Amino acid sequence: MHRVTGVVLAAALAGGSCFVALAPGAAATSSSTVVPVVCGATLTHNTTLTHDLHCTTGPGLILLGNITLNLGGHGIYGPGSTFPGYDAILIQRGATPTVTNGRIQKWLDGINGSAFGGGAYGLNVSHVTFTQVGTAIVAANGTYNVTNSTFSEDGYGLYGNDAFDTVTHSSFYQVGTSIGIWSGGDITASYDSFTAPTGPSNQSVFGVENSEGGSSVDHSSFHNIKTAISSWFGPENLSNVTITGATTAYAADYFGGGTLTNVVFSHNITGIALDTISKVTVSHGTFEFNGNSIYLQPGNGLPSTISVASSTFYKNLGDGVNLDVPGSSLKSVQAIDNAGHGISAIAGTLDLGGNRAHGNATSPQCVGVVCTP
């Protein structure tokens, strides 16, 4: 995303700033400055905005050093979110600035640290609203901490490679991909909400997506996201999570998977979908009113497996549990009032006992494992 040319950046550094820029890597002072700031300014001290910025071209602001930009409840408004475009805030590589308390709207990128300089960097964001932004935060090769922030109608929320993202107490509304990383890194999301309007044309594509990284999501909810959770080549662990209205609530492929504890899957087309050597462990889960609670991709010679314990399957449209690929296990599963069998398991499924089934539409109540009413 190197869209800001050297000429544009040099012009911003030389003529657009009301500050004298520090050399890259130089320490900023800790005192806070409250001054008028114009579009294209380079900030080298802690700064609080006193007014909105409406920028028609070029980057909005450039932050050098480990400084704090307090938006002061104001907004930085840009020329639009389509390519080619500009960034609201550019941050210096090797620094860890803080941005807080305001709004960033209608930019190609909201905050971007990959445009100039070298080396890894970090970013702290709190109480910021990103709306109608192509990518709210370009998260690459660094550590990102986001709290109490809102992402609305953005193409991407936090998105990039080899990033370590921690996102807490934040909300994502109708964002194409809310949090995504690839080629390493890690996502930790807690006490967050991911929602989109009703209707397939309005749904967000991904909630939390990782490839060649790892993710942990807890105490969060997903509603009407096409694929709420997606993992490739890395674990995606969930605890105390609710997923509703998804096309696929949890998808794991190519060595993906993870541990799911106290997760509710409700009114999804598919609850869990596993493909190509993926493995998931589920405990204390609830699967209700789904079209298909669990789907294991058969026939590719590289089977996936699932272990389910102490979980309930209630009023799903097919079998409560259908395991048509060997190697999975069931223990203390309850299957109640499903439209097919309670449990249908292929030979090679490990029955660990304690399974119960009743009120399911197809007899026998269980196939391939032993159930009691």
Q: In this predicted model, what pLDDT tens digit does every residue of 184-235 receive, in sequence order?
A: 889 999 999 999 987 665 678 999 999 888 899 999 999 999 999 999 888 8
Per-domain boundaries in the chain = 75-367
In the block, tokens 């960034």 appear at 87
Question: What CA–CA distance (Å, rounded) separates 41 from 56?
Answer: 14
Phi-psi region of 202 (alpha: psi -120 to 50; beta: other; left: phi over 0): alpha
* Nearest Cα to Cα of residue 235 among 213, 217, 264, 263: 213
Strands (E), 78-134: 87-91, 98-105, 109-112, 121-131
* pLDDT of res. 152: 96
Burial of 238 by CB count in 10 Å (0-12 exposed, 13-18 middle, 19+ buried)?
buried
* pLDDT of res. 257: 84
Structure tokens, 363: 């007899």
For the chain, residues with pLDDT lower than 50 are 1-30
Greatest alpha-carbon span in the chain: 79
Contact yes or no for 259/234 (Cβ under 8 A): no
- pTM for the predicted model, two decimal places: 0.88
DSSP 77: E
Count of CB atoms situated within 10 Å of the CB of 36: 9
User: What string of DSSP letters covers 121-177?
Assistant: EEEEEEEEEEES-SEEEE--SEEEEEES-EEES-SEEEEEEEEEEEEES-EEES-SE
Question: What CA–CA distance (Å, rounded) separates 152 from 312?
Answer: 34
Residue 179 sits at φ, ψ, to 5 deg, of: -135, 125
Residue 243 sits at φ, ψ, to 5 deg, of: -130, 120
* pLDDT tens per residue, range 135-147: 999 988 889 999 9
* pLDDT tens per residue, range 257-282: 899 999 999 999 999 998 878 889 99
CATH number for the segment(s) 75-367: 2.160.20
* pLDDT of res. 84: 79
Structure tokens, 152: 């609305």
Contact yes or no for 207/225 (Cβ under 8 A): yes
Question: What CA–CA distance (Å, rounded) separates 203 from 225?
Answer: 6
